[in-house]
Amino acid sequence: MTLRRSLAALAVVLALPVAAAAGTLQVSVIDRDGNPVPDAVVVLVPPAFGPVRTPLPTKLTITQEKMRFIPAVSLVGVGTQATFVNNDPWEHHVRASAAGVQNFEAASSGGFELRLDGKSEGKPGKAAEARFDKPGPVLLGCHLHASMRGHVYVSDTPWAALTGADGHAAFEAVPEGPVKVRVWQADQLIDLPPQQLVLGAAPAKATMQLSVVPRRRRV
């Protein structure tokens, strides 16, 4: 290819319409004291986004290890098939119910219970399957160990992300236009009002502040 032809090709690329351009949105979640909040779910509610984003996972493994659910918080799509694996040498009686005041009524209808015998030495942990069919946050607990707590957030939109240790969740290729940002966090029992933004092609940032300080996770 000659230089002239290369330049011509480049010019064509640069002349592509920018109407389809999409921006990056970084959402920071902070607590009442201004500290970053990990494991918060940020959901974008766009008026008419197509399912252009990579879908959320629909397979999930949650292990019970040293009296904890690992991972403590998961973000998955509706219909997720989950495998619970007990790696502790003692029994766990896992229960799942819709979490939060909003879903209080649904709690009686949804949810499940799983008995998982303790793991025998030298053998794989006992496993049981469950499905997450209803959108919304699900609380995991154990009938035998009151300190065990975990959450699965079942999202009906792929426009959802978990915040990392820095409290940030990033979205790529968000279509331009108005968008509502919602946040869910296990200890935020009162729904925060969504934040309304209008996105352009330029990268955008938003901060959502909880009205609580989430309790620290046991390490």
Q: What residue ranges bind Cu ion (CB under 5 A)? A: 92, 142, 144-145
Contact 166, 116 (CB under 8 A): no
Sign of torsion over alpha carbons 61, 67, 71, 74: positive
CB environment 196-206: b (16+ within 10 A), e (fewer): ebebeeeebeb
Closer CB to Cu ion, 41 or 140, in the complex: 140
Expressed in percent and rounded to 5, the helix, strand and coil fractions of the chain are 10, 45, 45
Closer CB to Cu ion, 100 or 141, in the complex: 141
Ordered strands of the 168-175 beta sheet: 168-175, 22-30, 204-209
Nearest distance from C-beta of residue 94 to Cu ion, angstroms: 7
Q: Measure the CA–CA gap between 93 and 172, rounded to whole angstroms.
A: 39
Nearest distance from C-beta of residue 92 to Cu ion, angstroms: 3
Nearest distance from C-beta of residue 207 to Cu ion, angstroms: 37
Closer CB to Cu ion, 9 or 127, in the complex: 127
Closer CB to Cu ion, 42 or 116, in the complex: 116
- Name the one residue in this structure whose structure tokens are 């290369």: 6
Q: Measure the CA–CA gap between 182 and 30, rounded to whole angstroms.
A: 13
Nearest distance from C-beta of residue 116 to Cu ion, angstroms: 8
* Residue whose Cβ sits closest to Cu ion: 142
Nearest distance from C-beta of residue 134 to Cu ion, angstroms: 24
- Residue 27, Ramachandran bin (φ over 0: left; ψ between -120 and 50: alpha; else beta): beta
Closer CB to Cu ion, 83 or 196, in the complex: 83
Closer CB to Cu ion, 86 or 155, in the complex: 86
Nearest distance from C-beta of residue 126 to Cu ion, angstroms: 12
